[in-house]
Amino acid sequence: MTVQTTAWIGLGANLGERAAALRSALTGIGALPGTRVLRVSSLYRSAPVDAGGPDYLNAVAEVSTFLTPQALLEALQTLEQAAGRERPYRNAPRTLDLDILFYGDVRLESAGLTLPHPRLHERAFVLLPLAELAPERVAPEWLAGVAGQAIERWGGVDWGNVLV
């Protein structure tokens, strides 16, 4: 473990019981060693970007963690696997997708992890929920660039019981 860091994680699912998968993922994230879920955005429904399949449900979680970026990534991938995530091809439909969007102010480029997330500025399903939690991390031109993507706030989800 390292120093305590605030990270923002994008959550998405477009197969199975999507809302239940996201709620379960948030519970799993909060149970990671040295990690707490601080806040969660509203839930959004969005059309797939550069992919086919059913609409996604998406949210962003703000977490506090002592895990390193690599350890956090590995833990998130374990949660994806536990939810039945398969990777038959790029941008395949998925039961759960967890992406580290920002890890504090860390900038990192490695074979398995790039921070900040390299495509976050291209996706309304990331930017709108992220803007709820950390508007200072979302450039106005990014929002303008995704204005044509199909997305809407979805229902009134109470995440209260997954926050510690």
Catalytic choice (94, 119, 137, 158): 94
Question: Can 99 be counted among the known catalytic residues?
Answer: yes
Question: Can 123 be counted among the known catalytic residues?
Answer: no
Catalytic choice (18, 23, 45, 97): 97
Catalytic choice (45, 85, 105, 119): 85
Under 8 Å between Cβ of 94 and 48: no
The sign of the CA dihedral 100, 64, 45, 145 is negative
Question: Can 94 be counted among the known catalytic residues?
Answer: yes
Q: How far is CA 93 from the centre of its chain?
A: 15
Catalytic choice (18, 23, 99, 123): 99
Question: Can 85 be counted among the known catalytic residues?
Answer: yes
Rounded distance, CA 88 to CA 120, Å? 22
Under 8 Å between Cβ of 135 and 69: no
Task: Point out the residues that are catalytic.
Answer: 85, 94, 97, 99
